[in-house]
Amino acid sequence: MRPVYLLLLGLCAPAIATAAQAPAAAPDDGAKFTLRYRFEPRETLRWKVTHRNRTRTTVSGTTRSAETTSVSVKVWEVKEVRPDGAATFVHSVEDVDMWQKMTDQAEVRYDSREEGKAPRGFEHVAQSVGVPLATVTMDPQGRVLKRERHEAKAAAKSKGPVAVPLPDGPVAVGERWSKTEEIRVRPNMGSFRTIKARQTFELEEVETGVATIRVSTQILTPIDDPAVEWQVVQHEKRGTVRFDVEAGRILSQHLEVDRRVVGFRGETSSLHYATQFDEELLPETAATASQTAALRR
C-alpha cells in the first residue's frame, strides 16, 4: 500500500507523462472553450484536500484491513508569472489532520495544529507541514517546465504531474484529450515492470463559466498477473474536475476507485481497494479569483 501522504500533499502517484493526444472530434458544432491556467504574481491559492483510503486483504484465510483518512490544506504561493502565462509557485502544506486504523493495532491520529510529537509512522508527514516542498514552474496547460524539489523533505520527491493537463486548443462539449503514462510496479518484490496507461479527459459541460471535466483511466498494457493488477489499480483515476474557465483554476475534484483483485498473493487471496480523493478551492481563494477574472474582462 503506497504512502498516503503523497496524495494528501497534493502530489500525484509516481507516473511520468510521455505524450499528449489531440482532442477527438466533437459530436457537434457547438461553442468551443479555451481552458488555461491563469495566475497573478504574489497571489496565494489554497485547496482543502480530503483523501480516504480503505484496503481489505485476505491471504491464507486471514483477513486484514487498513483505513486512512487525511484532511489537509494545499498551498500554492505564486512568485512569478511570465509573459507567456507560465507561473512559478512554491508548493506547501499548511496543516494536516490524519486518522489511521489497522487490524490488531490501536487507532492512530495526528493533527499538525496540535502540539506534541508526531506518532510513529507519521514523522514524514510532520516534517512536510508548514515548509516549502517544491518550487514549480508550470505552463498554462499544466505542463511542468521546471521543478526544484527540497530533498530534505521525502514527500516532495514525486515526479508525477501537479495539475490536471489541459488540451492544446479550444474544445467543445463532448471533446476529449488524453495523456499516456508509464506506471512502474514491482510484483512480489521481483523485478520492476512498466505498465502503460492512458488518462482521458472529456469536457462534459460548461455552465455559468464552470467547465466539468470527466476523468478516466485506461490500462493499455495487457495484465494477466494479479500481483501486477493490484498495484496498477492504485494509480487509476475516475471522476470529475470542475474548472473555472475565466479565473483559470480548478474549483474542485472528485476522484475515486473501488476495485477487487483475486489471486494477488496466491490462488485463494483477495484484495479490495477503495479510495476517494476530493479537492476544493477554499472560499477566500475563490473570491479573489473571481475579482481577478473580472479585471481581465
C-alpha cell at 203: 469536457
pTM: 0.85
Cα dihedral 73/41/132/235 (nearest 10): 60
pLDDT at 151: 57
pLDDT at 150: 81
289: part of which helix (H) or strand (E)?
A: helix 283-296
pLDDT at 115: 86
* pLDDT per position as a tens digit, 145-160: 999 988 554 444 455 6
Read off the pLDDT of each residue in 23-40 and give the average, rounded to a whole number: 78
Q: For residue 284, what pLDDT band results from cuts at 50, 70 and 90? A: confident
Check the CA dihedral 255-133-250-196 and report its sign: negative
- Give me the residues paired with residue 193 across strands: 185
Dist. CA 221–CA 60, nearest whole Å:
29
Cα dihedral 87/41/286/38 (nearest 10): -40
Q: Choose among 88, 42, 91: nearest CA to 288.
A: 42
Over 50: is that where the pLDDT of 6 sits?
Answer: no
Over 70: is that where the pLDDT of 129 sits?
Answer: yes
Amino acid at site 69:
T
Read off the pLDDT of each residue in 12-36 and give the average, rounded to a whole number: 59
Dist. CA 16–CA 20, nearest whole Å:
12
Dist. CA 135–CA 270, nearest whole Å:
41
Question: Are the C-beta atoms of residues 9 and 149 closer than 8 Å to each other?
Answer: no
- Count the neighbouring beta carbons within 10 Å of the beta carbon of residue 30: 12
Burial degree of 167 (CB within 10 A; 0-12, 13-18, 19+): buried
- Give me the residues paired with residue 100 across strands: 68, 108
- Which of the two residues, 155 and 65, has the higher pLDDT score? 65
- Going from the C-alpha of 264 to that of each of 48, 160, 227, 269, 297, the distances in angstroms are 34, 26, 4, 6, 55
Question: How confident is the prediction for the chain on average, in pLDDT?
Answer: 87
Question: Are the C-beta atoms of residues 156 and 242 closer than 8 Å to each other?
Answer: no
Check the CA dihedral 13-15-20-24 and report its sign: negative
Over 90: is that where the pLDDT of 15 sits?
Answer: no
Lowest mean pLDDT among 57-71, 119-133, 198-212, 243-257: 119-133
Give the strand pairing for 32-33 and 15-21: unpaired
SS3 content of the chain, % helix, strand, coil (to 5): 15, 50, 35
